[in-house]
């Protein structure tokens, strides 16, 4: 399978250590290997985006300005990013953007001028890969302690960490491939 043209990453638990409802940029800490993995994609000409559910805005726990400040810190530490999509809605709002709905993936693909089939989404929970699947994109799950076993079982592709996810997406043509990369668990 050829590498994707665009890779969209979930923010919390995938790019940065998950701090629930984080509104403080000072608490942003990249996950181990994130910068190196993103730089490998950039070196190959793969565009990068971030797609993040931020229900804390709808719940009144953080403001949009706080969420934007946290996103700006992520970009400062890990950027540049070609696109950033934020869903400010809560789980019961019925929007088309909140993962696992495909809205943010489709919006990023449209904004970057690429077909969803040439996009991959990397995330730590089933909603991330569900959004990819719903959009017609490729999804790679990187399990963390919050990932449910059923989400791992349902994922088409699973990687041990962000570096392994990038290695999986780039295939055998990745000189920076991590030893933890596993072949696809293609369950389609």
Total-model pTM: 0.92
Q: Does the residue 59 lie in any domain? A: yes
Q: Which of 120, 110, 105, 125 is nearest to 170 (CA)?
A: 120
Instruction: Residue 100: name the closest of 4, 22, 10 by CA.
Output: 10
Q: What is d(CA 150, CA 33) in angstroms, rounded to the nearest whole number?
A: 26
Cα(20)–Cα(17) distance, rounded to whole angstroms? 10
Does residue 186 fall inside a structural domain? no
Domain assignment of residue 67, given as a range: 6-170
In a domain, 180, yes or no: no
Within-domain flag for 178:
no
pLDDT at 173: 52
Domain assignment present for residue 137? The answer is yes
Which residues are part of the catalytic machinery? 10, 12
What is the model's pLDDT at position 172?
60
| β-pair partners for 3 | none
Q: Look at residue 76 and tell me if it is in a domain.
A: yes
List per-residue pLDDT tens for the chain, 188 residues long. 899 999 999 999 999 999 999 999 999 999 999 999 999 999 999 999 999 999 999 999 999 999 999 999 999 999 999 999 999 999 999 999 999 999 999 999 999 999 999 999 999 999 999 999 999 999 999 999 999 999 999 999 999 999 999 999 999 655 554 434 444 443 32
Q: At what angle do helices 162-170 and 34-43 cross, to 10 degrees?
A: 20
Overall domain count for the chain: 1
CB-side neighbour CA atoms (13 Å) of 39: 8
Residue 125 included in any domain: yes
Whether 176 is in a domain gets the answer no
Confidence (pLDDT) at 1: 82
Q: Domain of 60: which CATH number? A: 3.40.50.1000
């Amino acid at each position: 399978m050829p590498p994707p043209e665009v890779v969209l990453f979930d923010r919390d638990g995938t790019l940065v250590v998950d701090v629930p409802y984080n509104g403080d940029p000072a608490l942003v800490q990249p996950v181990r290997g994130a910068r190196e993995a993103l730089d490998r994609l950039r070196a190959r000409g793969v565009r990068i985006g971030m797609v993040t559910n931020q229900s804390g805005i709808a719940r009144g726990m953080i403001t949009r300005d706080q969420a934007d400040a946290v996103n700006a810190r992520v970009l400062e530490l890990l950027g540049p990013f070609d696109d950033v999509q934020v869903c400010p809605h809560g789980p019961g709002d019925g929007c088309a953007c909140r993962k696992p709905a495909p809205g943010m993936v489709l919006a990023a693909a449209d904004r970057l001028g690429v077909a969803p089939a040439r996009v991959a989404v990397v995330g730590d929970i089933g909603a991330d890969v569900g959004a990819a699947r719903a959009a017609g994109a490729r999804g790679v799950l990187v399990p963390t302690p919050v990932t449910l076993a059923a989400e791992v079982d349902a994922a088409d592709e699973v990687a041990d960490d962000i570096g392994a996810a990038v290695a999986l997406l780039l295939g055998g043509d990745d000189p920076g491939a991590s030893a933890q990369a596993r072949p696809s668990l293609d369950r389609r």
